[in-house]
Amino acid sequence: MLKTSLQTLKSLPIVTKQQPPRFTKNSVVMEAQSEKVYAYYNHTDSCKFSRWTARESFEFMHARPWQEVVDFYSKSVNGRLSLLELFGTQAHDVHGDDKIEEVSNETALLEGVSNVDKSGRWARVTFKIVLSYHGGSFDGWQKQPGLNTVQGLVEKSLGIFVDEKKAQQLKEKSKPLEGCASVAGRTDKGVSALQQVCSFYTWRKDVKPHEIEDAINDVAPGKVRVVSVSEVSRAFHPNFSAKWRHYLYIFPLNDGENREEIEGEGDIENFSSHENCEKQRNECGELASEENVENSIISDEDEDELEGAKKPRSFSVCRVNQLLQQLEGKLLSYKNFARDTKAVRNVGPPTECYFYHARATETSLPCPDHGKEIKVMCVELVANRFLRKMVRVLVATAVREAAAGAQEDALLKLMDATCRRATAPPAPPDGLCLVNVGYTEFDRRNCLIP
């Protein structure tokens, strides 16, 4: 009986247990890359086939003579040029240096209070430091290990002014002797600033404002310059006390020699007159009209090629100005214009911003070294706050919508889009500059573009 059972078992087929597939880190990465799909937001308006894709917008924004703008900001940081020179003598009458100094003094008086009879933490001395720095020389504001940042440089230079107790604490923790600087707003790599505001406090009573100014100026001459240092109230905070931020974006327009260098990539022109603005809008409307779309039979294979041939390679500065003006005086959520920021925030400030001023105009970039002027578009934005990379995304999107011939409320409609792919990739940081931070009520007379 036992022998028969063994023979029966031997005759049965052998079933091996299948091992689950083994995934390595490299195989998972390769599989994810092979299945990665680049999707675009599906616009449904009449300009759908005239609007640039993300790649086309990126290439258009970067194919510019940015070095001229970088050099201009470098000279402005060192005090050899002024933003006022972009807008002629009329702007000097309204925005002269005396006016700027008057506003700064008024702000200092409002912020400063006496520390007499103060004790505890209120006895410490707080300094307001206004900085000007060249963005191309640093890896942004925020201090990061192994990177050359503005905050790292400033805090290192402030180390000699910390009090003995703080110095002892740093020594016990084996940390370098550095001060702690709070800032009005962190700038990205490549973004310049003419009047960035930060603060520093110490319990030492012998520290003078001019000593702080000399210490920072000696660290990186030509890259960072102190505009002013003043003693302010303990209650002052450069970020939370600020009421508005003032940004300027300089976008080079291809003109003269620079235009010839890029004409091989397409017919790139920049219209500024109202006549050309209307002409371009009509041409874009004809290309993207519903009648033309319905009568066109486009296969999947040549759809991208045909759309690329139709898309305009020019935009109107006056149309960009009209698009931006629609944002003034409105409290809107700019979650679709932000990058590296959660669209829905459960913790922290919301994504809503209020624009006091949003304008664009065409002017010429002064180049005194070789006597040539380069046409540029200046975009001036003043709001109570800005999200991460918001200015750069807003400028790139406004240019894209103007080139597509979109309506004046195009930017407002994008506020309600379902995802951030509806907006364009950020414009290059080379053209962006933090002009000023305000701690009094906004005055439109201080704007550069009326």
> Is the confidence at residue 328, as pLDDT, over 90?
yes
Per-chain mean pLDDT for the chain: 76
**pLDDT for position 121:** 58
* pTM for the predicted model, two decimal places: 0.77
Q: Can you read off the two tokens belonging to residue 238? A: 């450069």
Confidence of residue 264 (pLDDT cuts 50, 70, 90): very low
Q: What is the mean pLDDT of residues 42-47?
A: 78
DSSP structure string for 121-165:
GGGSEEEEEEEEE-GGGSS-SS--TTS--HHHHHHHHGGGGS-HH
> Is the confidence at residue 32, as pLDDT, over 80?
no
CB neighbour list of residue 397: distance below 8 Å, 6 or more residues apart: 337, 411, 414, 423, 424
Greatest mean pLDDT range, 338-347, 361-370, 385-394: 385-394
Residue with the bigger pLDDT between 430 and 346: it is 430
Query: What is the C-alpha R_g of the chain?
Result: 28
CA distance 160 to 179: 8
List the catalytic residues: 188
Confidence of residue 93 (pLDDT cuts 50, 70, 90): very low
Instruction: Specify whether the CB–CB gap between 431 and 250 falls below 8 A.
Output: yes
Please list the residues that pair with 438 across neighbouring strands: 244
**pLDDT for position 211:** 92
Please list the residues that pair with 378 across neighbouring strands: 250, 361
Confidence of residue 313 (pLDDT cuts 50, 70, 90): confident
pLDDT tens column, 103-135: 344 444 444 444 445 555 567 889 999 999 999
Virtual CA dihedral for 133, 134, 140, 143, nearest 10 degrees? -40
Nearest alpha carbon to residue 376 among 362, 359, 390: 362
Angle at 164 between CA 162 and CA 168, to 5 degrees: 100
**pLDDT for position 368:** 60
Residue with the bigger pLDDT between 323 and 264: it is 323
Angle at 432 between CA 321 and CA 142, to 5 degrees: 140
